[in-house]
Amino acid sequence: MIPAMPIRVMPVLGLTLAFATASAQRPVPVSWPLVVERLPALAAAGSAQPQLSTSDRGIILSWVERDAGLATLKFSERTAAGWSAVRQVASGTDWFVNWADVPSVVRLADGALAAHWLQKSGPDTYAYDVRLAYSKDDGKTWSPSFMPHSDGTKTEHGFATLFQMPGAGLGLVWLDGRSMKPSTGHAGHDAAAGTMSVRFASFDRDWRQTAEVPLDLRVCECCPTSAAVTVDGPIAAFRNRTEDEVRDIHVSRFENGKWTESVAVHDDGWKIAGCPVNGPMLSARGRDVAIAWFTGKDEQGRAFVSFSKDAGRTFGAPIRLDEIGTLGRVDVELLSDGSAVASWIESSGGRAQFMARRVEASGARSPAVTVSDLAGGRASGYPRVAWHADELVFAWTDTAEARSRVQTAVARIRTGAGR
């Protein structure tokens, strides 16, 4: 194995306050030295769409490789022994592959793997389905694919998030365009085009479907969804869309067997007659929840994180993440001490950077760390961060060469007991 290559050393010597409501408090000096080390590439040239998921066993990195019209979903799992051998989930020439609508592979509590990708269902650009498959032998073999939605329309079904259902089985939420005209898809921003919804489905341990219900019948058309599981049940996040085009981040909780009416995390008041393709990210531990999101109100890109101590029923004041300006594309991971690591794409002076910092619920935050330079366009996709066993794993798409390639890096931290 090629030794890891240090790419950034950033000693974090203290905490600074980021939000005005906490500005009167004295920052408590905390040392958080972070050494980010680039890892050898697992993915081949032509890879993109990285995704990270975490289980008790470790972190799974998945990505899509494209070659001569064929798209293939692959993955590897990082444990104490390093990355596992790369395995293939599925491939096809009729997939819908998109820089923001990213496939995934997750490990469930019973050890089974579940995966999703998008497959075209008709000739229209935005006619495609969410396809699911599972493996009971660590990805050596996979089940035939199946769909969580039964509407049968040749419309958009995507931006899916998979998660462990309490007890057993798989849950997922996705954006569903069954009420939209097939040809409109992401461009459907007027009443005549219909509305996008966010929906939920679940499967039991024997992969029998147990639910397919809507969470919210009017949401933003192409902002990724997110979900996490608290001790009180799953919580989902997405960008809502009001009648007068305010598109703020909402959450809904699965409580007593049904989803609660969605509520705004914060009243950003961002009114925009179009989809910004910038979704929220959630992380949960026990009853603690952290959420990160982007807003572009007043034509200024800003990224924020907020904390909840009651499983997402209420959230504290937003804490700003970015330094000067941002493209958003956030991620967040709660640590065992109650703080969180959040990431975003910083954008200023024509330069884009994949950055991360530690944030506390008090409003305190560490100095930002640059993980990697990025291209500022859509090709750089959504960078990711995940945490397991005192190790942060970062993943992003490098577009510096002729063909894109998924890259990874790690940083070791000490915050107490691991996940």
Q: What share of the chain in percent tops pLDDT 70?
A: 89
Do the Cβ atoms of 191 and 181 come closer than 8 Å?
no
Q: What mean pLDDT, rounded, does the chain reach?
A: 90
| Over residues 396-419, mean pLDDT | 84
| Over residues 277-305, mean pLDDT | 97
Pairing assessment for the beta strands 34-38 and 5-10 based on DSSP bridges: antiparallel
| Over residues 131-141, mean pLDDT | 98
Which 3 state secondary structure label does DSSP give 91? strand
Q: How confident is the model at residue 376 (pLDDT cuts 50, 70, 90)?
A: confident
**Residue-level pLDDT at 349:** 85
Q: How confident is the model at residue 350 (pLDDT cuts 50, 70, 90)?
A: confident
Pairing assessment for the beta strands 258-259 and 263-264 based on DSSP bridges: unpaired
Cα–Cα dist 299/293, whole Å = 16
pLDDT, tens only, 299-343? 999 999 999 999 999 999 999 999 999 999 999 999 999 999 999
Ranking 11-15, 170-174, 413-417 by mean pLDDT, the lowest is 11-15
Residue 15 backbone class (left: φ over 0; alpha: ψ -120 to 50; beta: rest): beta
pLDDT, tens only, 10-39? 333 232 333 333 333 333 335 567 889 999
**Residue-level pLDDT at 167:** 87
> What's the pTM?
0.91
Class of domain 5-412 as given by CATH: mainly beta
DSSP readout, 120-162? E-SSSTT-EEEEEEEESSTTSS-PPPB-S-----SSBEEEEEE
Do the Cβ atoms of 355 and 367 come closer than 8 Å?
no
| Over residues 106-128, mean pLDDT | 96
**Residue-level pLDDT at 109:** 96
Cα–Cα dist 297/247, whole Å = 10
Q: How confident is the model at residue 186 (pLDDT cuts 50, 70, 90)?
A: low
pLDDT, tens only, 140-158? 999 999 999 999 999 999 9
Q: What share of the chain in percent tops pLDDT 90?
A: 82
SS3 content of the chain, % helix, strand, coil (to 5): 5, 50, 45
**Residue-level pLDDT at 181:** 75
**Residue-level pLDDT at 194:** 85
Residue 256 has pLDDT above 80, yes or no: yes
pLDDT, tens only, 57-103? 999 999 999 999 999 999 999 988 899 999 999 999 999 999 999 99
**Residue-level pLDDT at 190:** 52
Ranking 12-21, 247-256, 319-328, 354-363 by mean pLDDT, the lowest is 12-21
Q: How confident is the model at residue 185 (pLDDT cuts 50, 70, 90)?
A: low
**Residue-level pLDDT at 163:** 98
